[in-house]
């Protein structure tokens, strides 16, 4: 079976399409890798680019994009709704077929060392790649964001990176790299401008505060709307339909409605099939990977 790995680098640029396209175009000419998707959001001031291919090709392509982002994004000037610590903020490797999570951990470590050695950017390992329990959760690694880490990395030994200097890159900040399973990024926009309502709902539905298993959630203001932004880290435990229903329920309690929802980036076909089967009790759907299907179209 061919080894296929997905990588979804997140960049701290969601407004300048020219910059985002230059980062994406860094992959051109690299054999064995394909860009599947690009998403960007002006309010979050953030973009993500999904690539898939052989392990070596994905490693080369991810480094090329990081190098371009380092040259084009200045974190000293960056503002946005989404938490971040660097120009290339987070780089997850996800096993697709013929490759294990452990092999993706090795890829993340290779990339981390290369980024530190060649770009002089501090690197933190997270999720399955984490060397410390307090760095498994991305939110813990990004605590204090760019501005807070800029001070703490120099003075607090607990914030020392896994690779690279104990000082942020002067424009690119730091990077979080790791290996993980599929993650579904799912946002629900509320019919209100009150961000405090979104924050209250996020607190009700996220796992760490006693909510849904495998759900991370924050409340944001996006395009004048309050948004509950969720990462579903295990869609087999909590899928998009259950997350939507939970947000809708909490919103109703607080006297507001749901305007719409959106899936951010790519998701496995199984997550959609599971939603259809579980929510409307439909039979006869097969579960093939949307990534593999799209790769060969």
Distances (CA, A) of 267 to 35, 101, 251, 290: 15, 17, 25, 7
82 is catalytic: yes
- Residue 208 DSSP symbol: G
Residue carrying structure tokens 């939970």: 246
Three-state secondary-structure class, residue 16:
coil
d(CA 24, CA 69): 10
Among residues 44, 78, 82, 169, the one annotated as catalytic is: 82
d(CA 43, CA 198): 15
Residue carrying structure tokens 């989404």: 82
Round the CA-based radius of gyration of the chain to a whole number and report it: 19
Contact 72, 22 (CB under 8 A): yes
d(CA 234, CA 181): 8
Active site (catalytic) residues: 82
């Amino acid at each position: 079976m061919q080894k296929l790995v997905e990588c979804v680098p997140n960049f701290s640029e969601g407004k300048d399409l020219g910059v985002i396209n230059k980062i994406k175009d860094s992959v051109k000419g690299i054999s064995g890798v394909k860009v599947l998707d690009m998403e960007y959001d002006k309010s979050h001031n953030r973009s993500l680019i999904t690539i898939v291919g052989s392990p070596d090709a994905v490693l080369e392509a991810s480094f090329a994009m990081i190098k371009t982002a380092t040259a084009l994004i200045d974190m000293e000037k960056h503002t946005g709704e989404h938490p971040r610590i660097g120009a290339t903020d987070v780089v997850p490797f996800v096993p697709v077929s013929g490759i294990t999570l452990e092999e993706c951990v090795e890829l993340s470590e290779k990339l981390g060392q290369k980024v530190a050695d060649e770009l002089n950017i501090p690197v933190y390992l997270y999720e399955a790649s984490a060397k410390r329990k307090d760095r498994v959760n991305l939110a813990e690694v990004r605590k204090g964001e760019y501005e807070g880490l800029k001070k703490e990395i120099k003075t607090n030994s607990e914030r020392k990176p896994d690779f690279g200097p104990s000082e942020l890159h002067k424009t690119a900040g730091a990077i979080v790299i790791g290996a993980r399973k599929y993650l579904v990024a799912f946002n629900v926009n509320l019919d209100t401008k009150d961000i405090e309502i979104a924050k209250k709902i996020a607190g009700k539905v996220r796992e760490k505060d006693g909510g849904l298993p495998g759900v991370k959630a924050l409340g944001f203001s996006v395009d004048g709307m309050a948004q509950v932004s969720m990462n579903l880290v295990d869609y087999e435990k909590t899928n998009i339909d259950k997350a939507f229903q939970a947000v809708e329920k909490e919103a109703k309690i607080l006297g507001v409605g749901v305007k719409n929802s959106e899936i951010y980036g790519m998701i496995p076909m199984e997550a959609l099939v599971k939603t259809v089967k579980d929510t409307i009790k439909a039979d006869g759907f097969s579960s093939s990977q949307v990534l593999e299907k799209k790769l060969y179209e």
